Copies of this chain bind each other. A is one copy, B any other.
Amino acid sequence: GTEYKKTLTMETLNPQVKAVEYAVRGPIVIKAGEIERYLQEGGKKPFTEVIKANIGDAHAMGQQPITFLRQVVALCTFPELLDSPSFPKDAKWRARRILQSCGGQSIGDFLLLWSYSASKGVDCIRQDIAAYIEQRDQGVPANWENIFLTTGASDGIVSILRLLVSGQAHARTGVMIPIPQYPLYSAAIAEMDAVQVNYYLDEDNCWALDVHELHRAYQTAKEHCQPRVLCIINPGNPTGQVQSKKCIKDVLHFAYEENLFVMADEVYQDNVYAPDCQFHSFKKVLYEMGPEYFNSVELASFHSSSKGYTGECGFRGGFMEIVNLDPEVKSQLVKMLSVRLCPPVTGQAAMDVIVNPPQPDEPSHGQFYKEKGLVLGALADKAKLTEHILNAVPGIKCNPVQGAMYAFPRIFIPPRAVEEAQALGMQPDMMYCLRLLEETGICVVPGSGFGQREGSYHFRMTILPSAEKLKVLLEKVHDFHIKFLNEYSALDEAQRSVS
Where the two chains meet, the residues of A that have a C-beta atom closer than 8 Å to any C-beta of B are: 1-10, 12-18, 20-22, 24-26, 55, 57-62, 64-65, 70-71, 73-74, 77-78, 81, 84, 86, 102-105, 107, 111, 113-117, 119, 151-152, 154-155, 158, 162-167, 183-184, 187-188, 191, 193, 228-229, 253, 256-257, 259-261, 292-293, 296-298, 306, 311-316, 324-326, 328-329, 332, 335-336, 338-347
Q: What residues of B have a CB within 8 angstroms of the CB of A298 in the complex?
A: 6-8
Q: Which residues of chain B are near A3, meaning CB under 8 Å?
A: 296
Residue pairs across A and B with Cβ atoms less than 8 A apart, 22 shown, are A4-B259, A6-B326, A7-B298, A10-B326, A13-B166, A16-B167, A17-B336, A25-B119, A25-B341, A26-B335, A57-B116, A59-B114, A65-B113, A65-B114, A74-B78, A77-B346, A154-B341, A158-B340, A183-B339, A314-B342, A316-B341, A344-B346
Chain B positions within 8 Å of A74 at CB level: 74, 77-78, 81
Cβ–Cβ contact B14 & A164, under 8 A = yes
Chain A at the B interface: SS class:
loop
Give every chain B residue within 8 A of A306 (Cβ-Cβ): 116
Asked whether, in the complex, the Cβ of A340 is within 8 Å of the Cβ of B104, the reply is no
Q: Which residues on the B side are within 8 Å of A193 (C-beta)?
A: 167
Work out how many copies of this chain go into the complex: 2
On chain B, the residues within 8 Å of A102 by CB distance are 314
Would A57 and B7 be within 8 Å (CB), given that A15-B166, A81-B74 are in contact?
no
A71 pairs with B60, CB closer than 8 A:
no
CB closest chain-B residue, reference A188: B339
Task: Report the bound CA distance from A343 to B314 in whole Å.
Answer: 8
Contacts of A326 in B (CB 8 A): 6, 8-10
A344 touching B315, Cβ below 8 Å: yes
> Which residues of chain B are near A113, meaning CB under 8 Å?
59-60, 62, 65
Q: Which of A21, A74, A292 has the most CB of B within 10 A?
A: A74
